[in-house]
Every structure is written in structure tokens, then in C-alpha cells.
Amino acid sequence: MRFALRLLVIGSLLAVLIIEAAAWMKRHRSDLPWTELDLTAEPGRFTPAKIAELGSDPPRCRALLTEAASLSTPAPDRIVSESCGYRDGTRIKGTPEPSPAGLVTSCPVAAAMLVWERELQVAANRHLGTSVRRLLHAGSFSCRRLYGRESGAWSEHATADAVDILGFTMADGRTVSVLRDWRDDGPTAAFLRSARDAACRSFSTVLSPDYNEAHRDHLHLDTADRGASGWRACR
């Protein structure tokens, strides 16, 4: 009898544990390395690595964009040399619109932007009481090495796996500039910092004016795939 009672208690505890664990995993899908990426879900610990991995699987990347109702569309391949070019070009469209229009990035950057833009709107609402209408950018694809040097590693821009953001035009007409407003101590700077922190939840590399002088006027966002190391930069 005592044995049966013990068995019942242990069984019930186990059942509760399993139910709790399942509920936790459901809430934290994006925090687990083995779950499928969902671009409509709230980003988690492994979202940047999962998005970066899409670079090796353009059809899956495009399918995920479609599934997430992204308005971005495929763009023609561009091959300049062995180190420069892309085969997963994506014309960025949606809310906010990129300015100038016609921004083409790699598919993973388009996926990361989709996730980031939702968080961006929440931050704009919280800090400035408005929404973002336009993303002011300095482009994505550029056949260059890191810091424009003559030799050394190629920039993520050489494969359109990066985008530089200069600022935002808000729905109420005001403009927010990384160069002008980053060092401010009011809500505009708070919004810019939130925008940077939110980008770290979908891009594997985020470099802001806090990183160095070369980034004083823009946020560099990229989806470099660093494999299992999961190394990320958010500065």
C-alpha cells in the first residue's frame, strides 16, 4: 500500500514537471537551439544564429519570408567576383519603407529586418509616442574589405549580408539621426539605443557609435554566420 502511494506521488510529480517543462519550451521556443525558426515569433537567444544560418539555404529563407507575410521580393543575382556578390538578393519592402527605395540585401538580412522592425515600432511608440515611417539607410551591397582596407577579410557588405542604418523618419514627421541624436540624453537617444538593442535580437553583429568612431553616424547590422560558436557582437 505504502509502495503504491509512493508510486502515485512520484508519478504525479513527474507529470507536473513534464507539463511545466512543455509549457516553458512553448513560451521559449526561440531560446532553444533545436526549434524551427519562426519570423513571426518574438526573437530569443538563438534567433540571430538561426537567421544567419539561412544564408546557406536561400529557398528556406524565402519560404520563411513568405510564411511571415513579408512584402519583400526576390531580386536578380549579382556576381562581381569570387568574393563579391549574392545569389539570394531580396528587395526590401514593407513598413517602414527603406529610404532611398530599392534597397536590396541578402535574404537573411531581409529576415532579420522583418523581426527587428516589429520591435522598432514598439520602441518608437514607447519612447517617442509615434511610429517609424522610413528607414534611412546607406545601403547593403558594396564590394569592399573591412574598413575599406586594401587587404584582409571581406566585409559582410561584399555579400549583401549587412545593412547600414543612418536614422529614421517618424510618422509625425520628425527625423531621428544616429549622428546627431545618439549622444543626446532625452527620449530620442533612448529610442536609438532601444533600436540598437532590439537589432541584437535578430542580427548576429550590431555595431553602433558606442563601438568606435567609424560607426559614429550609423548602425551596422549584419547576419554573419559564425556557425556553432554562436559568437555575436552587440556594441
Binding site for Zn ion (CB under 5 A): 162, 164, 220
Q: How far apart are CA 170 and CA 152, in angstroms?
A: 39
**Residue nearest Zn ion (C-beta atom):** 220
- 103, 71 Cβ separation under 8 angstroms: no
- 48 dihedral zone (left: phi>0; alpha: psi -120 to 50; beta): alpha
Angle between helices 187-199 and 107-128 (to 10 degrees): 150
- 164, 173 Cβ separation under 8 angstroms: no
Minimum gap (Å) between residue 30 Cβ and Zn ion: 25
Minimum gap (Å) between residue 200 Cβ and Zn ion: 15
The smaller minimum CB distance to Zn ion, of residues 201 and 220, is found at 220
The smaller minimum CB distance to Zn ion, of residues 117 and 161, is found at 161
Minimum gap (Å) between residue 173 Cβ and Zn ion: 27
Minimum gap (Å) between residue 63 Cβ and Zn ion: 27
Minimum gap (Å) between residue 155 Cβ and Zn ion: 7
The smaller minimum CB distance to Zn ion, of residues 68 and 146, is found at 146
Minimum gap (Å) between residue 220 Cβ and Zn ion: 3
Q: How far apart are CA 102 and CA 73, in angstroms?
A: 11
The smaller minimum CB distance to Zn ion, of residues 24 and 147, is found at 147
The smaller minimum CB distance to Zn ion, of residues 50 and 218, is found at 218
The smaller minimum CB distance to Zn ion, of residues 142 and 175, is found at 142
97 Cβ contact partners less than 8 Å away, ≥ 6 residues apart: 133, 134, 135
Q: How far apart are CA 206 and CA 223, in angstroms?
A: 9
The smaller minimum CB distance to Zn ion, of residues 128 and 162, is found at 162
Nearest to 168 by CA among 203, 140, 133: 133
Q: How far apart are CA 135 and CA 130, in angstroms?
A: 14
Give residue 12's identity as a one-letter amino acid code.
S
Minimum gap (Å) between residue 162 Cβ and Zn ion: 5
Angle between helices 107-128 and 58-67 (to 10 degrees): 40
